Amino acid sequence: MHEKIIRQIKKGKQEAFEEVFKHFFHPLSAFAFKFVKDVAVVEDLLQEVFISFWEKRQDFDHPAALKSYLYTSVRNRCLNHVKHLAVEKKHEPALLYEVESQQHVSRHVIEEETFRLLLSEIKLLPEASREIMILALNGLKNPEIAEELGISVNTVKTQKKIAYAKLKDKLGPRLAMLLLLILIS
């Protein structure tokens, strides 16, 4: 997100709003779904958040403020939804505590942002490496990837090695290690 988008949003440019929506919709959906396991409810919550964002668009001067607002708003709406369910069901206080836990929320934001960064870099890989890495992200093991693509397990390993090296160069060693841990788990 660039400050140029923020300026366009303040001017009421619908194209800029759509760009923000496209940029944040999937990460925010995944973030909300960790708390509210109902796709329809998540979509409703996100719709409310984006409407609220549009109504308050003059309040944002920097992309970081916008990002913080969106994640905080989603968190708060999830919290309100879970509180409502807790009142109805009385036996879900553990989930309510989890949603309220700032550490828990921060971890999920970091996971979603890291995954989004990883995915954007994977999309820039050569086709063979990209296909293999996407299948690996979907949980397939090397033999399953080889079978799916009709190639040898050694080719899968070689392409993964190439992809890891390129990701490490692009993302830096610490972030690359974190991303590899995500892929392995």
Q: How far apart are the C-alpha atoms of 77 and 26, rounded to whole Å? A: 17
Tell whether 93 and 115 lie within a shared domain.
no
**Is 102's pLDDT higher than 80?**
no
- Structural domain boundaries enclosing 169: 102-185
**Environment class of 113 (CB within 10 Å of its CB; exposed 0-12, middle 13-18, buried 19+):** middle
pLDDT at residue 155, as a whole number: 92
Where residue 12 falls (left for φ over 0; alpha for ψ -120 to 50; beta otherwise) is left
> What residues have CB less than 8 Å from 19, skipping those under 6 apart?
5
Q: Which of 47, 69, 48 minimizes the C-alpha distance to 58?
A: 69
pLDDT at residue 154, as a whole number: 93
The dihedral through the CA atoms of 132, 135, 141, 144 has a sign that is negative
Q: How far apart are the C-alpha atoms of 102 and 177, rounded to whole Å? A: 25
Q: How far apart are the C-alpha atoms of 53 and 149, rounded to whole Å? A: 43
Q: In whole angstroms, what separates CA 92 from the centre of its chain?
A: 26
pLDDT at residue 183, as a whole number: 55
Q: pLDDT (tens digit, 9 = 90+) per residue, 128-169?
A: 888 888 888 777 889 999 998 999 999 999 988 888 888 778
In three-state secondary structure terms, 172 is: coil
CATH label of the domain that carries residue 144: 1.10.10.10
pTM for the complete prediction?
0.53
DSSP string, 147-183: HHHT--HHHHHHHHHHHHHHHHHHH-HHHHHHHHHHH
In the chain, the number of structural domains is 2
**Is 118's pLDDT higher than 90?**
no
Query: Within 10 A of 142 (CB to CB), how many other CB atoms are there?
Result: 17
Helices vs. strands in the chain: H and E counts, helices first:
10, 0
Q: Which of 43, 69, 100 is the last residue of a domain?
A: 100
Q: pLDDT (tens digit, 9 = 90+) per residue, 21-41?
A: 998 998 898 889 888 888 899
Tell whether 14 and 84 lie within a shared domain.
yes
**To the nearest whole percent, how much of the chain has pLDDT over 70?**
82
Query: Within 10 A of 45 (CB to CB), how many other CB atoms are there?
Result: 23
Tokens of 106: 């921060």
CATH label of the domain that carries residue 8: 1.10.1740.10
**Is 64's pLDDT higher than 70?**
yes
Q: Which of 66, 100, 134 is the last residue of a domain?
A: 100
Which of these ranges, 33-37, 98-102, 121-125, 162-166, has the smallest mean pLDDT?
98-102
**Is 117's pLDDT higher than 90?**
no
pLDDT at residue 48, as a whole number: 94
